[in-house]
Structure 1
Amino acid sequence: MPKLAVAMLAAALCPPGAALAQPAMPDAPIPYEALATPAPRPAARPRTTPRAPAQQATQPGAEAGSEALTPTGAAAIDPARLEAYLDGVIGSAMLRDRIAGVTVSVVQNDQVIFKKGYGHASLAPLRPVDPDRTLFRIGSISKTFTWILLMNEIQAGRIRIDAPINLYLPEALQIRDQGFTQPIQVAHLLDHSPGFEDRILGQLMERNFDRERPMAQYLRQERPRRVREPGQFPTYSNYGVGLAGQALVYVSGRPFEELVEQQITGPLGMSRTTFREPHPPRQGIPAPMAPSLARDLSDGFRWSPARGFEARPFEYLGHLAPAGSASSTAADMARYMIVLLNDGVYGQAPAADAATDAAAQPRLIFGPATARAFRTPLRPNEAGINDWPHGFITYPLPGGRKGYGHAGGTLSFTSNMVVAPDLDLGVFISVNTENGAELAAKLPAQVVAQFYGPAMAPPQEGDPDLRRSARLYEGHYLGTRRAYVGLERFVGFILSGVSVQVSRDGRLVTSGLNGAQTWVPEGDPAAGRFVSTTGPERLVFDLDGGRASAFQGTYNDVRFQRVGLWSRPAILAWLAGLSALAAVATFVGLALRNRRDLRQTQIQSQASLVQTIQAVLWLLAMGLFAAWLMGASDTAQVVYGWPGARLILASACALVASVLTLVTLAALLSIWRGGRRLDSWPVTRKLGFTATTLIYAAFAIVLFHWGALTPWSS
């Protein structure tokens, strides 16, 4: 189940510094016109080595000039030292975490200072990872291509950032109000605040190409519910990015894949980057990936202690291409990072060369206003919390530096791309195994820490005063990135929950399916700001009426809202245990009851039969759910096979048992009245029947609240 939580992209919560004031939240996004001038770049000191054209990448180990400087005057990274460091870090992680293959590239000062493949892209036949040829799935890094295309349309005036997205969608795809008063604007898609629920299971990815649908059909058929007014707070939305991509298609009249090829990958010479996927040609579906690229796709892997590395089927995402279907090489992603660092321009050739060589002419991928937008928040947030600069993620880096980029994940691949403008540095990594998320997440910050000094050690000491404020924070919180109805709501309640406690030594402890993390107060313990004891990440609580109502973490892709007693997994577990004991006790009573105990009225006899049937159904439901949980260790089986016969049958059994509880509740009064003393149950049996009925009733109420009694709605 923890792996399933990773596959569902549950939020990662994770530090030090003085408490900072919260900036005011504007009612509307920052106007795009305010971004018309390029973002200021740090003044560069003269380099002692010439700046090579971007097309001529420096290979690892080549002489790079130890006196080369970054824009801030810091010494540039020596490629030989970088290779030695990364060989150690990546090699150790591959052995520790059982990772089949990794591809990496690092750029600085318009040069590729490192690119390398580790391990294997396939095992049958055995094929090593080649950073120039092997394509890895880059998941949600695909979104950054979509945002470039969208911002170019905004800059050209064909799309307005503050306009309703419905203006740029065909009627069949337009979002209905669903009881909400505010329309979803283009800006809400850029900062993931459209107010949708998040549905993943059974439709986000496909392993069978026959189930693939055109993007417009997918967006129409899989439309999520609106669960809050737009603009309130971010909750990561793949569907929202799909709408942005479809708006681009509608405005331009061209398929999304062609837009990427014509405006980004083609001009950049990223010939081994594509949003297309390997499949037979089919009408209504974008043309397939070129065979020359399909041959070099890396397999995705899952590690099993019993069977070793297992190759998984290709993960089809073409129906939501703008959100995650891209595949690329480390070399191509190096070119892409150079563009991001150079504010949309690729190829800074000397003037003399540009006059004689057309290929050396700089290529403009996006303009200065877009460049500034990608480093400017749409809605300023609390200090230390990601502010979503027009679709990009802000990363805290060692030494108080700030990075920009995006991470991405599919079921088997995890990728990360971070550029640090003040160091003119970019790091890209992708791993092809389910277990590689930690390596991909940490590597960019590790590179900065290794070559530019680590950040201050995170605080470890708790604050005794926090114990006095414990009741402010302690409780159970549910993430907003989940489904809000049906069986997926039930699973979301389990996966997205986080428990918050205060330890005896004055530290905040958050715990969920992905483990526990400790935090210490940042300033006043009652102010609601906390710093991780393991890294540069923060938690910020909303305090309302003398207690915390919600909190958010550094990356701000999900909000955690405090919930009541009935939404806590511990209550569900206790009631499930009590119901199981009551069901077993019912069968034990049937076996041990003597002849005198069999005296009963007709109503008591019928009620006893109903409760016996309930016992069978509850035990069957719990057994089927336990069997489903055992299979949930393989995330692919859950996502592709959702909801599955076991879970549907478990829900159906629980539903029938819950309906029968209404019958036993209605019979309680008649059971206690009984008949003549010798023809009725003894008091002990009446008490047992009543207790069992109330336990089942409480269990049914909680299951209904969690969405578990809807076998027809997955």
Structure 2
Amino acid sequence: MARYDNYGVALAGYLVQVVSGQPFAQYVQDHVFGPLGMTGTTFVQPHPAAIQVHVADGYRPGGRGQVRENGQYGAWSPTGAGTVATATDMGTFMIAQMADDPRLGAGVAQSLRQQHFTMDPRLPGMGWMLQQAPRNGQPLLFKNGDVPGFHANLAMLPDQKIGIYVVYNGDATNGVASWDGRDLIHQIVDRYVSDTSPAPKAVSGIDTSGLAGNYRVNRISHTQVTKVVALLSTASVAVAPGGSLTTSGLSLNPNAGDQHWYPIGTGLFQEQAGQAQIAFDGKGNLFMSDDPTVAFTKLAWYSSPTLHQIMLGAGVVVLLVAFLWLPILALVRHRRGRPAYSRWAQAARVAAWLTGGLTTVFIGWLAVLASDMNALTESVVLGSVVLTVLLSLNGIAVATTAAMIAGTGAAWARRWWTVKGRMAYTITTAAAISYLMVAFTYNLIGTPIG
């Protein structure tokens, strides 16, 4: 099992640099762009002045208009960060690829197109960067690229000598920007290449036990706040009578609904009214023909996003109530002339109030940021003081929760408040722990600034 990874691709570029003794950008210029006459394409950063003057800006929706994106740059070549090209040059490259142009080097084009890896031998796999995705029974190779504000989609049907390149410089409001280019390519292929391949026949008696459950894609962030997407975007598999499956969250189209599949072999399923296939390896992994670069792994019950959502939601609600109710409780007690609690008992309640306040501010602020995922992605990629401050709130909440844990023990040992008061405080502490466990799991805790 493997996954596509930007750092892995950057490592490949670095190896080219080490072996050739040339900077990667210069090597590609000398051996690919130059020989093919691709004068508008470069890996060099900063871009040469003659190219920079023609570079398009990226945009994302903001308010009632469009906001300029800052793009994505850095020493990640050849991942595409900072790479620029013209549509004309990409057409030249595809023609050279499909013609086995000797200027690319002997056997280079064929090596790029052939399969070098597949998650499952029954499904399409990968060449060198190019991914296999048969369409209408014909071999199709593609490579997509997405950074904030920019989306590019390259597809080739070598047998028909057809190349398609779709590129645009704007993000959508509903997350479909990265899908629209591929959808257009499918429409073009369907228009010019007839589907003559017969649909696979259903097979009966296939064992589907153990397939149902929640699955998570293995291409997720493990260190960034964007891991929180996994809290809401996990795929699910349900088994229906007769061995068919219903899935949600697998389609690359974010607007797609449930998908239905029928068995065509052991652990192999064909999409009803579609061309996709999925396969299970019997070890808890799911693979899909639509994207041969990733796998989905079945989640244990304690990793279920539904459980985490309940833990997060319950924690937030209880802490919000504590944040609003504790000041009211203190005010009522003061007006009734009741004696003040001990200093440590008061400190324990202040800790609970602070934890509730930090949580309320964090969730509200994160909701505002997450309402524009394009802007949030840009903040994560390029860095943001606002995001750093936001994550530091939960870092402070860790300290106040630790004080609450100590306060809970002291409250029962020293009999602070009434029994109901101690129980309420204990529940609030449990809610804070529940909330922070989910925050920690999804990288929502940062170090306080200072």
Give the TM-score band, short-chain normalised.
0.7 to 0.9
SS across alignment from 1:415: strand
Q: Is the 8 A contact 1:470 1:502 kept in 2?
A: no
1:425-466 superposed Cα distances (whole Å, 9 cap, x missing partner): 22222223224533421334333322231366979x999999
The aligned residue for residue 38 of structure 2 is 270
1:433 equivalent to 2:173? Answer: no
1:376 equivalent to 2:114? Answer: yes
Q: Partners of 1:613 and 1:234 in 2: how far apart? A: 44
The aligned residue for residue 76 of structure 2 is 320
The aligned residue for residue 222 of structure 2 is 484
Given the alignment, which residue of 159, 174, 188 partners 1:422? 159
Given the alignment, which residue of 286, 290, 293 partners 1:551? 286
Q: Is the 8 A contact 1:601 1:674 kept in 2?
A: no
1:620 equivalent to 2:361? Answer: yes
Give, as a single letter, the amino acid of the residue that structure 1 aligns with 2:263: E
Given the alignment, which residue of 37, 59, 64 partners 1:306? 64
Given the alignment, which residue of 75, 78, 88 partners 1:331? 88
SS across alignment from 1:260: helix
Number of residue-to-residue matches in the alignment: 433
The aligned residue for residue 77 of structure 1 is none
1:311-361 superposed Cα distances (whole Å, 9 cap, x missing partner): 544x3536223221443333332222222112233xxxxxxxxxxxxxxxx
Given the alignment, which residue of 189, 194, 199 partners 1:453? 194
1:25-62 superposed Cα distances (whole Å, 9 cap, x missing partner): xxxxxxxxxxxxxxxxxxxxxxxxxxxxxxxxxxxxxx
Q: Partners of 1:670 and 1:294 in 2: how far apart? A: 65
Q: Partners of 2:63 and 2:186 in 1: how far apart? A: 30
Q: Partners of 1:649 and 1:397 in 2: how far apart? A: 47
Question: Residue 635 of structure 1: CA displacement?
Answer: 5.0
Give, as a single letter, the amino acid of the residue that structure 1 aligns with 2:271: S
The aligned residue for residue 672 of structure 1 is 412
Give, as a single letter, the amino acid of the residue that structure 1 aligns with 2:147: T
Q: Is the 8 A contact 1:674 1:681 kept in 2?
A: no
Q: Is the 8 A contact 1:517 1:532 kept in 2?
A: no
Q: Is the 8 A contact 1:302 1:412 kept in 2?
A: yes
Question: Residue 712 of structure 1: CA displacement?
Answer: 6.5
1:289 equivalent to 2:48? Answer: yes
Q: Partners of 1:306 and 1:503 in 2: how far apart? A: 44
1:235 equivalent to 2:3? Answer: yes
Give, as a single letter, the amino acid of the residue that structure 1 aligns with 2:161: D
SS across alignment from 1:709: coil
Give, as a single letter, the amino acid of the residue that structure 2 aligns with 1:402: P
Given the alignment, which residue of 583, 586, 594 partners 2:319? 583
1:634 equivalent to 2:391? Answer: no
Structure 1 length-normalised TM: 0.54
Question: Residue 241 of structure 1: CA displacement?
Answer: 1.9
Question: Residue 422 of structure 1: CA displacement?
Answer: 2.0
Call closer, same or farther: CA 1:655–1:300 in 2, change over 3 Å: closer
Note the aligned Cα RMSD (angstroms): 3.5
Give, as a single letter, the amino acid of the residue that structure 2 aligns with 1:447: I
The aligned residue for residue 12 of structure 2 is 244
Question: Residue 502 of structure 1: CA displacement?
Answer: 2.1
SS across alignment from 1:665: helix
Call closer, same or farther: CA 1:575–1:316 in 2, change over 3 Å: closer
Q: Partners of 2:293 and 2:34 in 1: how far apart? A: 31
Q: Partners of 1:575 and 1:686 in 2: how far apart? A: 21
Question: Residue 620 of structure 1: CA displacement?
Answer: 2.6
Given the alignment, which residue of 497, 504, 514 partners 2:254? 514
Call closer, same or farther: CA 1:575–1:668 in 2, change over 3 Å: same
Question: Residue 375 of structure 1: CA displacement?
Answer: 3.5
Q: Partners of 1:372 and 1:552 in 2: how far apart? A: 26
Call closer, same or farther: CA 1:366–1:701 in 2, change over 3 Å: same
Higher radius of gyration, 1 or 2 = 1
Unaligned residue ranges in structure 2 (runs of 5+): none
Give, as a single letter, the amino acid of the residue that structure 2 aligns with 1:343: D
Q: Is the 8 A contact 1:411 1:635 kept in 2?
A: no
1:60-110 superposed Cα distances (whole Å, 9 cap, x missing partner): xxxxxxxxxxxxxxxxxxxxxxxxxxxxxxxxxxxxxxxxxxxxxxxxxxx
Q: Is the 8 A contact 2:125 2:293 kept in 1?
A: no
1:256 equivalent to 2:24? Answer: yes
Question: Residue 706 of structure 1: CA displacement?
Answer: 2.8
Q: Partners of 1:455 and 1:339 in 2: how far apart? A: 28
Q: Partners of 2:325 and 2:59 in 1: how far apart? A: 48
Note the 1:11-90 alignment, pairs <5 A: none
Call closer, same or farther: CA 1:395–1:490 in 2, change over 3 Å: closer
Q: Partners of 1:326 and 1:605 in 2: how far apart? A: 58
Q: Partners of 2:178 and 2:411 in 1: how far apart? A: 58
Give, as a single letter, the amino acid of the residue that structure 1 aligns with 2:76: L
1:686 equivalent to 2:444? Answer: no
Give, as a single letter, the amino acid of the residue that structure 2 aligns with 1:711: T
1:276-318 superposed Cα distances (whole Å, 9 cap, x missing partner): 35x5xxxxxxxx4242x434333333345712x55544x3536
SS across alignment from 1:321: coil
Question: Residue 402 of structure 1: CA displacement?
Answer: 0.8
Question: Residue 611 of structure 1: CA displacement?
Answer: 2.0
SS across alignment from 1:540: strand
Given the alignment, which residue of 529, 541, 544 partners 2:280? 541
1:343 equivalent to 2:100? Answer: yes
Q: Is the 8 A contact 2:202 2:264 kept in 1?
A: no
- With a CA cutoff of 8 Å and minimum separation of 6, indicate the structure with the bigger relative contact order: 1
Q: Name the % identity.
A: 20
Q: Is the 8 A contact 1:404 1:419 kept in 2?
A: yes
Q: Partners of 1:328 and 1:462 in 2: how far apart? A: 45
Q: Is the 8 A contact 2:278 2:287 kept in 1?
A: yes
SS across alignment from 1:388: coil
The aligned residue for residue 72 of structure 1 is none
Q: Partners of 1:377 and 1:402 in 2: how far apart? A: 11
Q: Is the 8 A contact 1:578 1:695 kept in 2?
A: yes
Q: Partners of 2:186 and 2:55 in 1: how far apart? A: 28
Question: Residue 469 of structure 1: CA displacement?
Answer: 4.5
1:466-493 superposed Cα distances (whole Å, 9 cap, x missing partner): 9x94753212x332223323x4364354
Structure 2 length-normalised TM: 0.82
Give, as a single letter, the amino acid of the residue that structure 2 aligns with 1:387: G
Unaligned residue ranges in structure 1 (runs of 5+): 1-232, 280-287, 346-363
